[in-house]
Amino acid sequence: MGVALLTYLQFIASVVASRISERDEEGSVVEKVILTAIFAALAIAVGAIIVAKVTSTANSISLN
Protein backbone atom coordinates (compact mmCIF):
# COMPACT_ATOMS: atom_id res chain seq x y z
CA MET A 1 0.00 0.00 0.00
CA GLY A 2 2.80 2.43 0.84
CA VAL A 3 4.59 2.02 -2.50
CA ALA A 4 1.37 2.51 -4.45
CA LEU A 5 0.58 5.66 -2.48
CA LEU A 6 4.05 7.09 -3.05
CA THR A 7 3.84 6.27 -6.78
CA TYR A 8 0.48 8.00 -6.94
CA LEU A 9 1.83 11.06 -5.13
CA GLN A 10 4.80 11.21 -7.52
CA PHE A 11 2.40 11.09 -10.46
CA ILE A 12 0.28 13.88 -9.00
CA ALA A 13 3.41 15.95 -8.34
CA SER A 14 4.57 15.54 -11.94
CA VAL A 15 1.15 16.52 -13.31
CA VAL A 16 1.04 19.58 -11.07
CA ALA A 17 4.60 20.54 -12.02
CA SER A 18 3.79 20.32 -15.72
CA ARG A 19 0.67 22.43 -15.26
CA ILE A 20 2.61 25.05 -13.33
CA SER A 21 5.29 25.23 -16.01
CA GLU A 22 2.62 25.80 -18.69
CA ARG A 23 1.20 28.84 -16.92
CA ASP A 24 2.66 32.29 -16.96
CA GLU A 25 4.11 33.74 -13.77
CA GLU A 26 1.13 35.89 -12.93
CA GLY A 27 -0.82 34.39 -10.02
CA SER A 28 1.34 31.30 -9.83
CA VAL A 29 2.67 32.17 -6.36
CA VAL A 30 -0.72 31.61 -4.76
CA GLU A 31 -1.13 28.35 -6.65
CA LYS A 32 2.31 27.17 -5.54
CA VAL A 33 1.57 28.02 -1.91
CA ILE A 34 -1.71 26.11 -2.03
CA LEU A 35 -0.09 23.09 -3.69
CA THR A 36 2.75 23.14 -1.18
CA ALA A 37 0.22 23.12 1.65
CA ILE A 38 -1.62 20.20 0.04
CA PHE A 39 1.59 18.20 -0.36
CA ALA A 40 2.59 19.00 3.23
CA ALA A 41 -0.78 17.72 4.45
CA LEU A 42 -0.36 14.56 2.37
CA ALA A 43 3.13 14.01 3.77
CA ILE A 44 1.81 14.40 7.32
CA ALA A 45 -1.00 11.93 6.56
CA VAL A 46 1.43 9.38 5.14
CA GLY A 47 3.68 9.83 8.18
CA ALA A 48 0.74 9.30 10.51
CA ILE A 49 -0.24 6.11 8.68
CA ILE A 50 3.31 4.78 8.91
CA VAL A 51 3.57 5.64 12.62
CA ALA A 52 0.23 3.96 13.32
CA LYS A 53 1.26 0.77 11.50
CA VAL A 54 4.67 0.63 13.19
CA THR A 55 3.11 1.27 16.61
CA SER A 56 0.47 -1.41 16.15
CA THR A 57 3.11 -3.90 15.02
CA ALA A 58 5.34 -3.02 17.96
CA ASN A 59 2.44 -3.43 20.39
CA SER A 60 1.62 -6.87 18.99
CA ILE A 61 5.12 -8.24 19.66
CA SER A 62 5.15 -10.63 22.59
CA LEU A 63 7.97 -10.03 25.05
CA ASN A 64 7.62 -13.41 26.79
Q: What is the pLDDT of residue 17?
A: 77
**Whole-angstrom distance, CA of residue 42 vs CA of residue 36:** 10
Residue 14's pLDDT is 81
pLDDT at 56 over 90: yes
Q: How far is CA 26 from CA 16, 22, 37, 60, in A?
A: 16, 12, 19, 53
Backbone torsions φ then ψ of 34, nearest 5 degrees: -65, -45
Instruction: Give me the pLDDT at residue 45, please.
Output: 92
Confidence of residue 34 (pLDDT cuts 50, 70, 90): confident
When the pLDDT of each residue in the chain is averaged and rounded to a whole number, the result is 82
In degrees and rounded to multiples of 5, residue 48 shows phi and psi of -65, -40
